[in-house]
Amino acid sequence: MTKDDLKLQLIDAYSQAYQNLGYSSLMGKIVALLLITPEALSLDQISEELQMSKGPISQIARRLKDHNLIEKVWIPGERKDYYRATEDIFGQAFRNYTSSMRKNRKLGERFAQHSEALAAADPEVAYFNQRMQEMEAFYTLMETFHRQFLQAWDQEKQAVPG
């Protein structure tokens, strides 16, 4: 496989993976491109590499920056914005995921509370309440593992620094 094949195929794989995870496929393409490019790239360069107009690139790049997956880097004497993948992009993607799981826990928590009082009087609400407690327990347990994993990953990274 040639260098260009590797690049194109990885970009395509990320494009599909991001789409499957419910994000825009352009997000995946930009992430993949910056992930494997040693130097920071300008919007124009990204636009050129991905064969897309600058409008969407600009918007998605901002979203990715908001989620700390990529960052702007200042290059002296240059007026363009340059982007690169953040140092711990995999860990960061995971942290973003954990925050949506935290929302799930809070959902369970909230509905368990709100249904508690009514549960005694109504068997259907009692069932509802039980499910919400299960939900809360599940995501609470999950969070402890998320913390442990991130700790383990931080250690592993420290051992073999980029």
Task: Round to whole Å and give the CA distance between 103 and 31.
Answer: 25
- Interface with a copy of itself, residue 149, by CB under 8 A: yes
**Count of residues that interact with a copy of itself, criterion CB under 8 A:** 51
Q: Considering only residues 115-144, where is the footprint of a copy of itself by CB under 8 A? A: 115, 118, 122-125, 127-128, 130-131, 134-135, 137-139, 141-142
Question: According to the binding rule CB under 8 A, does residue 96 interact with a copy of itself?
Answer: no
Binding site for DNA (CB under 7 A): 24-26, 42-44, 51-56, 58-59, 61-62, 79-81
- Mention every residue, 6+ apart, whose C-beta is less than 8 A from residue 55: none
38-77 footprint of a copy of itself as x/- string (CB under 8 A): x---------------------------------------
The residues of the shown chain that bind a copy of itself, judged by CB under 8 A, are 1, 3, 6-7, 9-10, 13, 17, 19-23, 35-38, 90-91, 94, 100, 103-104, 107, 111, 114-115, 118, 122-125, 127-128, 130-131, 134-135, 137-139, 141-142, 145, 148-149, 152-153, 156, 160, 162
